Amino acid sequence: MSPPILAASELVKRFPAGRGRQVHAVNGVDLEIGRGEAVGLVGESGSGKSTIGMLVTRLIPLTAGRVCFDGRDITALPEREMRPLRASLQIVFQDPWGALNPRMTIGKALEEPLKLHTDLEAGARALRGRELAERVRLPLASLDRFPHELSGGQLQRVCIARALATRPKLIVLDEPTSSLDLSVRAGILQLLDQIRRESGVAILFISHDLETVELVTDRVVVLYLGNVVEQGPTRKLFAEPAHPYTQTLLSASLPPDPDVMLARHTAIGEVPSPINLPPGCAFASRCPAAIPACRGARPPAVALGGQHAAACIRIADGGNVLSH
């Protein structure tokens, strides 16, 4: 069995918050992605999703932990050694308007990664740029235009094409469709699925859109306050969520059928401050199933079979399942 394309262990990230305080953004997260696998990273805003995306791509430094990419430990690689690896490790951000140089034509933007990471001559780069545009279904006429002349959906296709230009082994997609309307979003998701099947690229799909995650991923990791509370195969996790937070999160998703009866689970109280994290389970203060023991030590992950695991001490007595 081949090693995973990405293996991150005990990731920790803290940001300074003034007066000697720190924001505990990511707290001991393990994340593994197999070659060609699509893994979803979900959770509320502030759960640490985007921070993890930037940690595993080495866009920001780790406070602690280890990141291995394609069998190589890249945790402490200096930027001059990271640069060649960035051709294989790409990221697409949420805001396509802010990701592109407004003074550069779309054609030149598509050629830029090739100029940085390949030895192709100008003519070959221009040809490859046209091939990339066709692959992401961009009109060739757009190559001579500037970003402000394209729609949001077209700009996100440009960003995806740029990420694909160097034939990466892993692409981190950070909320790639959240700023797009539904019809455009569907086209982007279809494109990503096609690209993955054709190229075998692995994907880390960061999103709060649970319906999208269910459609495009093989496995899901659920975060709460920088902690992994549950992970497992997408179908199994969506059908049988074990952690009370996962159950609450999934119950908040609106189904496409307006006649479907909704069964809501409500988290009580406010999200704890990431500056002063509570002891024990981070969700305990809001969890309807919490007992005093939940506020003791941080709960370990409980194996549920089939690569499904959840960090909840109530699984042992069945108290983890929230009633409707």
Higher pLDDT, residue 48 or 253: 48
Q: Which of 234, 232, 225, 217 is nearest to 309 (CA)?
A: 232
DSSP 8-state code for residue 299 = P
- pLDDT of 115 reads 93
- Amino acid at the residue 282: A
- Amino acid at the residue 58: R
CA 269, 271, 272 angle in degrees (round to 5)? 110
238's tokens: 């969506």
pLDDT of residue 103 exceeding 90: yes
Q: Rounded to whole angstroms, how far apart are CA atoms 243 and 118?
A: 46
- pLDDT of 265 reads 84
Query: Helix or strand or coil: residue 207?
Result: coil
C-alpha to C-alpha distances, 174 to 32, 166, 219, 269, 295, nearest whole angstrom: 17, 19, 16, 28, 32
In the chain, % of residues over pLDDT 70 = 96
Q: Rounded to whole angstroms, how far apart are CA atoms 307 and 230?
A: 11
- pLDDT of 263 reads 67
311's tokens: 């960090």
Under a CB-based contact definition with an 8 Å cutoff, are residues 163 and 172 in contact?
A: no
Q: How many CB atoms lie within 10 A of CB 81?
A: 11
**From its phi and psi, is residue 110 left (phi > 0), alpha (psi between -120 and 50) or beta?**
alpha
Q: Rounded to whole angstroms, how far apart are CA atoms 121 and 144?
A: 19
Mean pLDDT of 158-165: 92
Instruction: State the pTM of this model.
Output: 0.93
- pLDDT of 188 reads 81
pLDDT of residue 261 exceeding 70: no
DSSP 8-state code for residue 177 = T
Mean pLDDT of 114-137: 93
pLDDT of residue 257 exceeding 60: no
pLDDT of residue 151 exceeding 80: yes
Under a CB-based contact definition with an 8 Å cutoff, are residues 6 and 170 in contact?
A: yes
Task: Give the least confident one: 6-15, 148-157, 184-193, 305-314.
Answer: 184-193
Task: Give the least confident one: 157-171, 210-224, 246-260.
Answer: 246-260
- pLDDT of 254 reads 61
Q: What are 60-94's pLDDT values in tens digits?
A: 999 999 999 999 999 999 999 999 999 999 999 88
- pLDDT of 1 reads 66
Domains of the chain: 1-88+168-217 (3.40.50.300), 100-166 (no CATH), 242-324 (no CATH)
Higher pLDDT, residue 254 or 109: 109
Mean pLDDT of the chain: 92
Q: What are 178-189's pLDDT values in tens digits?
A: 767 777 778 888
Q: Rounded to whole angstroms, how far apart are CA atoms 242 and 231?
A: 10
In the chain, % of residues over pLDDT 90 = 76
Q: What are 38-68's pLDDT values in tens digits?
A: 999 999 989 999 999 999 999 999 999 999 9
Q: What are the DSSP calls for 218-233, one per residue?
A: SEEEEEETTEEEEEEE
